[in-house]
Amino acid sequence: MKTDKREMYFRGTFQTRAEDNGEKYIDAYFAVFNQETEIWPGAYEQIAPGAFTNSLYNNDIRCLFNHDSGLVLGRTGNHTLTLVEDEHGLKGSVRLNPNDKQAMDIYARVERGDIAGCSFGFSPVSEDTEWRDDGTVHWMVKEADTAEVSICTFPAYPQTSVIARKQGFDE
């Protein structure tokens, strides 16, 4: 059993929209493909296209706030979270519960631009490791056993984005 669980953080641009029936959504790229990031000094990682395919098919993935399992915004198992891979990365849309004050507070912070990042929590299933001549290491994650995606206050990857809106996106 693998015990290497990683959390990847991303920073992006946010905007807000709302559907006529009052439903509110937060849309995001929770991960991007082929973008290297330093996860700690001397350790670099990037995500390969298709790394989430098995998780999307097999896992009931949660959308959290700041990786806090007490702040669940939605999940794929009950269709309040939709996740798809496209050529850019892992894209998702979470339909917020209007009766959840914390979810509405998070929506308002995204809408105002106070929160501008995303992340995902995973255990690597398959990856290529490259030890570089300068002493650094690089991992290319080919399969990520993904348990959760998060809207985050302090992301590390600058390539992701998230928007708050009131309408679902086309899958």
pLDDT in tens, 5-30: 555 544 444 444 466 677 899 998 89
Q: Which two tokens stand for residue 28?
A: 């995001």
Distance CA 113, CA 164 (A): 10
Q: Which two tokens stand for residue 145?
A: 């056993």
pLDDT in tens, 79-112: 999 999 999 999 999 999 999 999 999 999 998 8
Q: Which two tokens stand for residue 69?
A: 């399992």
In this structure, are strands 137-152 and 117-131 parallel, antiparallel, or unpaired? antiparallel
The residue with greater pLDDT, 55 or 43, is: 55
Q: For the whole model, what pTM was predicted? A: 0.83
71: three-class secondary structure by DSSP: strand
Distance of CA 14 to the CA centre of its chain: 14
The residue with greater pLDDT, 52 or 119, is: 52
The answer to whether the beta carbons of residues 26 and 110 sit under 8 Å apart is yes
